[in-house]
Chain A
């Protein structure tokens, strides 16, 4: 049942998981040190994100929620781009306008996310419908959590996708906790996957901590969508090993014991063991990967921290394609207040 993936590619997947993990650890540290304003991570969900994204082609589109760091890195978004975003500096492609990891890069077809839950789901359906109408053989992938499935936009997105048979992969990372609310208070259904049936398409459930199982399951769904077979809902069962965000303390609502149980199923440990058993990965590979990824992150931090804030004009640009009179006026007022000239 193992998918056909070359050794180099397997190594690349694992290395991206390591990079994601290390970036996540450093991201939360930067917030704790007061160097960045906020952090929201994906600790424990690396396999779900990287296995699913690996099934996409470059021309496919990703609609992330807000913790898809592993997906972003595999799509080719760089550590430097992410750090520029975390520091909200002048080189951030989003001009310092969003909270950390609410992030998108157009050249990677990785659409800028937002904080309201599940709003991106109908967008993924719309983009897939547009591609279908234009005859473009692309697939859209949308990420959300099990909490997101309670939202209206999950229902409406699934419903539209079922009606128009759009090439959309609904990828639910069931990480068991929507901040402090557990799965069983989110839905009376036994699984998320069975919800697909009501919308007229298939749902699948996969071990979200097994990167190869996630890849195989997603690849089938992607191939089906590309053939014109319509959407699939995938429920990847995983676990949020970290806090919801830097503002959250999971000790308030879940036990250490539960966390420890899931730490035994850590997706990085599992994949590393598999690779070592296959003699694709060694102790020295591990050390090299850890060192290299940490060095890359350190360099990006050092770089990003030195870049100044975006110019105050960027407070007013991109509201519209052209700045209307009232925003020009408000920009002049702000410049006067700051004592700077146009």
Chain B
């Protein structure tokens, strides 16, 4: 066991898997000599050399398009997009190419690229270093979308992603890159893609969250406990394909649901969870589902704290549904 933060867990996992699999190649802007602007690839260029850790021109569509070509040839490329806010030049490559190669070729060609990218607010980054736009990718058949919330899960999920036969969007919550620390086993392990984690058991209300918002949900659950509300917290961990069994089991157990994400509310991933629950378990519900989400505005700068869901806002939702 070693105590690591999330960015260190990313770094260790990449290194461990690169040692096991010589087809893994990292590429991206500033990831080589510089070790990445968030230091996720620190030391890897020095350890594995310029053929495994490749500094690229400043061009996201090129990074992803070239990664697809490398994957078609049989390598396992792991491109880093420096901020998820900058992924849009590569959107065509992700949507039209990466996600569709297996399908459109009748299973002849696959491009199992793992795209790593930091996402989310809370770092005073304004519009272009803060957004949480996972729903664009969960709306894309052919992709898997994974978001860790702890160092332990980061290692297990990233290891799975690096061994997965399909393209994976591995979204890293940058606000908690360094603030969340935890014990990470030194030995090899995986956490399956598609499995949520019931991180806290409770009887009265369930909160579904992921990424940085998982910790906000845990804090709110603690505050609620002091007020006599027993809250279950589920870290979804994989958004596509999401873990419907765990979700419905917690819904049936509690009958009251709060969904938390920092992405804006309208057509956010919470809408999908709410719709699935409504389709499958309306009669298990004892209160309306509540979404605590970012507002339907561009991501702000100075009013960031007002924008981001916090424990108090989640607590209000918990009390509201509990008292319904």
8 Å CB contact of A127 from B70, B93, B108: B70
A83-119 contacts to B, CB under 8 A, are: 92-95, 97-98, 102, 104-106, 111-112, 114, 116, 119
* Chain B residues, Cβ within 8 Å of A320: 102, 142, 144, 165-166
- CB of A324 closer than 8 Å to a CB of B: yes
- CB of A318 closer than 8 Å to a CB of B: yes
Q: How far is the CB of A297 from chain B (nearest CB, A)?
A: 23
Query: Would you call B62 and A130 a contact (CB within 8 A)?
Result: no
B25-70 contacts to A, CB under 8 A, are: 25, 51, 56-57, 59, 61-62, 64-70
* Chain A residues, Cβ within 8 Å of B144: 320
* Chain B residues, Cβ within 8 Å of A104: 105, 108-109
Query: Would you call A122 and B108 a contact (CB within 8 A)?
Result: no
* Chain B residues, Cβ within 8 Å of A134: 73, 75
Query: Would you call B92 and A112 a contact (CB within 8 A)?
Result: no
- CB of B178 closer than 8 Å to a CB of A: no
Q: Which of A151-159, A203-211, A276-284 contacts B (4 or more CB under 8 A)?
A: A151-159
Query: Would you call A130 and B104 a contact (CB within 8 A)?
Result: no
Q: How far is the CB of A40 from chain B (nearest CB, A)?
A: 16
Query: Would you call B65 and A111 a contact (CB within 8 A)?
Result: no
Query: Would you call B65 and A119 a contact (CB within 8 A)?
Result: yes
- CB of B100 closer than 8 Å to a CB of A: yes
Size category of the A interface is: 35 or more
* Chain A residues, Cβ within 8 Å of B105: 93-94, 104, 106, 111-112, 318
* Chain A residues, Cβ within 8 Å of B101: 112
* Chain A residues, Cβ within 8 Å of B74: 130
Query: Would you call A321 and B110 a contact (CB within 8 A)?
Result: yes
Per-position contact with B for A313-337: 1 when CB-CB < 8 Å, else 0? 0000111110011100000000000
The CA of A131 and the CA of B165, in the complex, are separated in Å by 20
8 Å CB contact of B65 from A97, A128, A156: A156
Q: How far is the CB of B311 from chain A (nearest CB, A)?
A: 32
B72-92 contacts to A, CB under 8 A, are: 72-75, 77, 89, 92
Query: Would you call A122 and B70 a contact (CB within 8 A)?
Result: no
- CB of B281 closer than 8 Å to a CB of A: no
- CB of A133 closer than 8 Å to a CB of B: yes
- CB of B141 closer than 8 Å to a CB of A: yes
- CB of A182 closer than 8 Å to a CB of B: no
- CB of A250 closer than 8 Å to a CB of B: no
* Chain B residues, Cβ within 8 Å of A106: 105, 108-109
Query: Would you call B69 and A130 a contact (CB within 8 A)?
Result: yes
B100-155 contacts to A, CB under 8 A, are: 100-110, 141-142, 144
Query: Would you call B102 and A127 a contact (CB within 8 A)?
Result: no
Given contacts A119-B96, A126-B72, A320-B102, contact A112 B108 (CB under 8 A): yes
Given contacts A106-B109, A112-B109, contact A159 B73 (CB under 8 A): no
- CB of B241 closer than 8 Å to a CB of A: yes
Residue of B nearest to A168 (CB): B69
Given contacts A130-B75, A133-B25, contact A160 B96 (CB under 8 A): no
Query: Would you call A123 and B61 a contact (CB within 8 A)?
Result: no
The CA of A112 and the CA of B72, in the complex, are separated in Å by 11
- CB of A13 closer than 8 Å to a CB of B: no
Given contacts A105-B108, A106-B108, A130-B73, contact A326 B241 (CB under 8 A): yes
* Chain B residues, Cβ within 8 Å of A156: 57, 59, 61-62, 65
Q: How far is the CB of A266 from chain B (nearest CB, A)?
A: 33
The CA of A248 and the CA of B229, in the complex, are separated in Å by 66
- CB of B97 closer than 8 Å to a CB of A: yes
B178-232 contacts to A, CB under 8 A, are: 194
- CB of B287 closer than 8 Å to a CB of A: no
The CA of A133 and the CA of B166, in the complex, are separated in Å by 22
Given contacts A119-B65, A123-B72, A130-B74, contact A114 B104 (CB under 8 A): yes
25 cross-chain CB contacts under 8 A: A92-B106, A94-B108, A97-B104, A98-B104, A106-B105, A106-B108, A112-B104, A112-B105, A114-B97, A116-B92, A116-B96, A123-B68, A126-B66, A126-B68, A126-B73, A128-B69, A130-B70, A153-B65, A157-B62, A318-B107, A319-B142, A320-B102, A320-B142, A320-B144, A325-B241
Q: Which 5 pairs, one residue from A and one from B, show the smallest C-beta to C-beta distance?
A: A126-B69, A122-B65, A156-B62, A130-B73, A123-B69
On B, residues with C-beta under 8 Å from A are 25, 51, 56-57, 59, 61-62, 64-75, 77, 89, 92-93, 96-97, 100-110, 141-142, 144, 165-166, 194, 241, 244
